[in-house]
């Protein structure tokens, strides 16, 4: 079933996100930006954590999570250990929530209006998975750029 496959992919790639965040040679580099790079790896990670907890954990799973999207991009210097603890929680929450989604729910309209056009929950879960990987790639590139600078 699609929910099992998506749950496995989210679990795998949330683990990859944790690997990327912990791979920065200098923890302070996680928060580096410049004129051409508006979002740090740390802020992209916070954005992904907020996004997944809101759209999957809260909307589909009723977790009660309250999102503060502006803080995802404005908070800085959060210890990697704190981020990792939250990622461990998310790595449990998101797959479990996805596995609990029924076929009827997958085929129904997603319960929150996100885009101008309506979409099924199945479509939006696929979109969220692509979004996770888009930013995961950005974080990987950000880290490798900074880790090669001397």
Q: What is the pLDDT of residue 146?
A: 87
Range of the domain at 62: 2-148
| Domain CATH number, residue 44 | 1.20.120.450
Per-residue pLDDT in tens (0 to 9) along the chain, 150 residues: 899 999 999 999 999 999 999 999 999 999 999 888 889 999 999 999 999 999 999 999 999 999 999 999 999 999 999 999 999 999 999 999 999 999 999 999 999 999 999 999 999 999 999 999 999 999 999 999 988 865
CA distance 58 to 51: 10
* Residue 35, SS3 per DSSP: coil
Output the pLDDT for position 80: 98
pLDDT of residue 150: 57
Q: How far apart are CA 90 and CA 130, in angstroms?
A: 17
In the chain, the number of structural domains is 1
Sequence-distant (≥ 6) Cβ neighbours of residue 79 within 8 angstroms: 27
Task: Find the distance separating the first CA and the last CA of the chain, reported in whole Å.
Answer: 48
Q: Is 14 in contact with 51 (CB distance < 8 Å)?
A: no
Q: Quick one: pLDDT at residue 35?
A: 81
């Amino acid at each position: 079933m699609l929910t099992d496959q998506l749950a496995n992919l989210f679990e795998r790639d949330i683990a990859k996100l944790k690997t990327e965040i912990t791979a920065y040679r200098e923890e302070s580099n996680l928060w580096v930006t410049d004129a051409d790079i508006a979002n740090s790896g740390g802020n992209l990670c916070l954005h992904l954590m907020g996004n997944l907890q809101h759209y999957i954990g809260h909307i589909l799973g009723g977790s009660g999570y309250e999102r503060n999207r502006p803080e995802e991009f404005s908070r800085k210097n959060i210890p990697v250990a704190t981020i990792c603890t939250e990622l461990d929680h998310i790595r449990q929450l998101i797959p479990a929530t996805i596995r609990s989604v029924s076929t009827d729910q997958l085929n129904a309209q997603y319960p929150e209006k996100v885009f101008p056009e309506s979409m099924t929950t199945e479509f939006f879960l696929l979109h969220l998975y692509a979004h996770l990987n888009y930013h995961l790639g950005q974080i990987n590139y950000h880290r490798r750029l900074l880790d090669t600078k001397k």
